[in-house]
A and B are shown apart, each in its own frame.
Chain A
């Protein structure tokens, strides 16, 4: 992975830029100490690191605006950052950039149950949004596994999803409005407590734009009443193909579980070794969760189990209590961590049409063998969003490069079968160069033209999303 050469011109003005930021912001909001800056040198894709020129931690929309105005005047690239959990290098700085962290923007501004929304500052963590309303029986639906740490700002930038998006949708389906600071410091309001746009859907465009169109400082989010209850059933199968067929049959039967999660043998074993969740040792495992009142849950589970039985499962385990539910989920929720115990891993995120699941799983296995790398699969099966985990050894020379190559091949496979490069983690720097596998030159050009409108100088997170060569003429 390559990043553009830092601008010598910008670096030569570092002292002045830092001084101007110090004047524009309260004490302690500007960091340029090399040791402190290490905290911002990477995000969740930690294979790539580079400390920024300096970091700023504004506490209000006005302070963000002040930062953007200064950076705009000085022609300095700005890399927005929420909590730094991105898995695609979206928050990776360049040496000539100002890293703008929104973590101090974390207040709840308004809770409105009659109109079912909450307005928060964008640095607030995902889980603490639900935390602000759950005592009154409400929740914020998108629930990325990283929800304890990740910020709403990052969720909006990446259009993040979660285990329950089969029923509730992803961030863009739950976002009503934002306050955003433009590249030149202007503050703009998009959307609000009402539904849909009165003109062009700028909100839909901003969501998922990876910090390239503006810095989001506040957000109005849809909240929902918590379901009366939820319960999972775990089903083990002898083959991934059969598990895939079972998923299809459930969906075709008109049942919409809130989640259908898939784990393969490698990840099942890793999870077992890690947390002893009591999973069966089998080729494929599904965790299917449904919601509602007790009677509604029973009704749906009876139907799901009847379908599962037609597929010769090696085990069906319906949760009978909160403790059992937790145990069923525990292995899934800690699967990434469990894989991390075995080795370093790279987590991919392509989406495929669910009909292609068996074929893609088989091909991934074969491709892994060709490369001599092990690949585990744990993912959201209901919507086809796969998370192949490629195990490698970061200390072994050449292993990372090999892993990157296998990763790119797997993602290209996802595109070939009718899917896409990334279902929820974003393009960032990781998938930037293979965007051409999914999009033609005009498809990319028009997206870059959109950025031209929002950020004519390409100062916001410039080296992301688009192949470096494609964006070269636009970046300074």
Chain B
């Protein structure tokens, strides 16, 4: 079923007597399998764009590509660099802005600019009872009442169905460049990334790729963006202080390196892929510990080490869940099974299992927003 207006959606949800599976473009088939009729959000269109105010308001079903084209026309973009999950998951369809926000999808630039949730200024949504709710607005500073926009971002359609989002946008940089080192092990690579991120030179990408991920040798990458003169200055400073002897890639070459990281393209053929958010310095230790307990794997580290993509390879009947979650228990953070066959996702907690008060609060919120449990039940656990 496809709804084309907020009012129609509200009527459908108010009258629903069975669970529904909410879908934007259908490109992010992530989470526990949801049984239920597909409810496609076909509520589309850019409603307002004020480049001088750095704000754009769009209906949730608007294709991301349309928004990016509108922004590019004014030399602007979504700074949080949302990942295109089609590459990793092999899905078809057009990603929508509602899906991006509902899944809080960010890319490499998250490390400096912030996540999708940080750029979401306002939202309209329909909750599980069919109530139409608005929260936030379209201005950059707004503390009027509780911030339900943050709550909706990353709730994967389990609390409400987004119908409209207001976004903060930013100017595209004049130019970009990437410094690359080869042959460092994960600990060395991540230490170098830490040093770069601790410098005043506004690093907008910091990744390390294990040997075999993007080439026979490991690669450690650092990105800078901005006005041409400033990028040159910062490359020089980094090469002098931290990235001594690293190779420089500019413009399109740099863009390609980060598209690969953003979309986790090297793992496109892997059947099982995990995403771990951890304290950056813990990343090499976690990776090594997984090897020690027999979880053979390759890793791609983004966010200076704070985001680890792991492809465990074949031979683990729980996809490595136990080993990975044990590491999370020891080091903090969370692990999500982003890619796996549906039967595996039905057996294993896809999202980090919660305990205690946090679990109780999350359950309580779900109960308030969706008392009948009809919105994507089971998707988040």
Contact = CB atoms under 8 A, between A and B. Distances in A.
Contacts of A114: 191, 194, 198, 280-281
Nearest to A192: B332
A254 B279 contact: no
Interface residues of A, number: 93
A446 B370 CA distance: 11
A197 B334 contact: yes
B357 interface: yes
Contacts of A421: 144
Nearest to A452: B368
A435 interface: yes
B85 interface: no
Interface in A158-175: 158-159, 161, 165, 169-170, 172-173
A163 B138 CA distance: 20
A371 B108 CA distance: 52
A438 interface: yes
Contact of A116 (B55, B197, B200, B230): B197
Given A198-B352, A200-B365, A296 B227 contact: yes
A109 B200 CA distance: 24
Interface stretch (A1-9, A67-75, A225-233, A263-271): A225-233
Contacts of A295: 229-230, 233
Given A115-B279, A208-B147, A453 B140 contact: no
A197 B154 contact: yes
A435 B333 CA distance: 37
Given A192-B332, A427-B144, A453-B364, A201 B110 contact: no
B185 interface: no
Nearest to B138: A418
B150 A199 contact: no
Given A161-B141, A194-B332, A418-B138, A199 B170 contact: no
Most interface-central of A173, A200, A292, A427 (chain B CB within 10 A): A200
A286 to B, nearest CB: 15
A196 interface: yes
A383 B141 CA distance: 7
Given A115-B279, A201-B154, A254-B174, A453 B361 contact: yes
Interface in B49-76: 50-55, 74-76
Nearest to B230: A296
Nearest to A244: B52
A115 B306 CA distance: 9
A124 B82 CA distance: 35
Nearest to A170: B141
A35 B42 CA distance: 63
A63 interface: no
With a 10 A CB-CB cut-off, give which of B142, B149, B173 has the most chain A CB atoms.
Answer: B142
Nearest to B122: A420
A209 interface: yes
A256 interface: yes
A254 B228 CA distance: 13
Nearest to A176: B279
Contacts of A447: 135, 145-146, 148
A115 B197 CA distance: 9
A351 interface: yes
B220 interface: no
B292 interface: no
B151 A204 contact: yes
A217 B36 CA distance: 42
Interface stretch (A245-253, A313-321, A324-332): A245-253
A224 B336 CA distance: 28
B117 to A, nearest CB: 6
Interface in A346-402: 351-355, 380, 383-385
A190 B358 contact: yes
A169 B121 CA distance: 12
B227 A299 contact: yes
A449 B367 CA distance: 10
A423 interface: yes
16 contacts: A113-B198, A115-B281, A193-B332, A194-B277, A195-B307, A196-B106, A198-B334, A198-B351, A200-B151, A207-B147, A351-B139, A419-B139, A420-B137, A439-B134, A447-B145, A452-B368
Given A351-B142, A423-B143, A452-B364, 11 more contacts: A169-B114, A196-B104, A200-B159, A200-B361, A209-B147, A248-B52, A351-B139, A355-B52, A383-B140, A418-B138, A453-B364
